[in-house]
Amino acid sequence: GEDVEQSLFLSVREGDSSVINCTYTDSSSTYLYWYKQEPGAGLQLLTYIFSNMDMKQDQRLTVLLNKKDKHLSLRIADTQTGDSAIYFCAERAPGGGADGLTFGKGTHLIIQP
Amino acid sequence: ETGVTQTPRHLVMGMTNKKSLKCEQHLGHNAMYWYKQSAKKPLELMFVYNFKEQTENNSVPSRFSPECPNSSHLFLHLHTLQPEDSALYLCASSQQGAEDQPQHFGDGTRLSIL
């Protein structure tokens, strides 16, 4: 079955890098996503990576994928107070149709001044 | 602005009421989704619509009834709900057939059942 796991909390100092980790069990996943949820809001798509890639960089965000270990990480460089939110990892199984995503429970990123 | 608009943002209803949640997407997508977000649980996929046809019903109780009149609009009709149905209901859309198909979410409807 599909299962996505994340740590519930991560605390970092402002200006440091944040690394949020995720593990998944479905080795046939095609795309893996990172979403951000701020209080009172929905999920904002941050970035995603295709399963045949190892790394993707987008400004302050770096996604690393270790397909062998089924491990995904999101690194946020120079973490700011505005990065405080819940970060969700999600995977999409292969298939030609519209597929729902399988989400982790989310990691609360807490920024210390 | 995500391109996916949900109304109302907040809804309080009794267990015997009937209400509907509305979702509209302005992204030209052809697939729409309902998710339920409860405290301390992962997001749960409820329904998937692809080109207005329901392609997935994830064992959702019949007190939740979806409707997709066209590819831009999605409704969730609610009837005789239970307290455990209190949650944030999120709508999403995507372009089925596109290589990466990221889903774009609305801000959700916070539902409270009295």
CB contact (8 A) between residue B102 and residue A33: yes
B39-74 per-position pLDDT tens digit: 878 889 999 998 777 777 778 999 999 999 998 999
Report which of A72, A80, A95 is spatially closest to residue A18, judged by C-alpha positions. A80
The band of B98, judged by pLDDT with boundaries at 50, 70 and 90, is low
Q: Which residues, at least 6 apart from B38, have a Cβ–Cβ distance to it below 8 Å? A: B44, B86, B87, B88
Token digits of residue A97: 């149709």
CB contact (8 A) between residue B43 and residue A33: no
**Chain B environment of A41 (Cβ under 8 Å):** 107-108
- Look at residue A28 in the predicted model and tell me its pLDDT: 78
At A32, which helix (H) or strand (E)? strand A31-37
Which of A5, A101, A102 is the best substitution to test chain B (most B C-beta atoms within 10 A)? A101
- Look at residue A30 in the predicted model and tell me its pLDDT: 81
- Look at residue A1 in the predicted model and tell me its pLDDT: 46
B12-33 per-position pLDDT tens digit: 999 888 999 999 999 999 999 9
Token digits of residue B18: 């009937």
Q: Is the Cβ of B5 closer than 8 Å to some Cβ of chain A? A: no
- Look at residue A111 in the predicted model and tell me its pLDDT: 96
Which stretches of chain A score pLDDT less than 70? 1-2, 94-98
Q: Is the pLDDT of residue B2 over 80?
A: no
DSSP state of B96: B
Query: Least CB-CB distance to A100: which of B45, B105, B106?
Result: B45
Contact A71, A78 (CB under 8 A): no
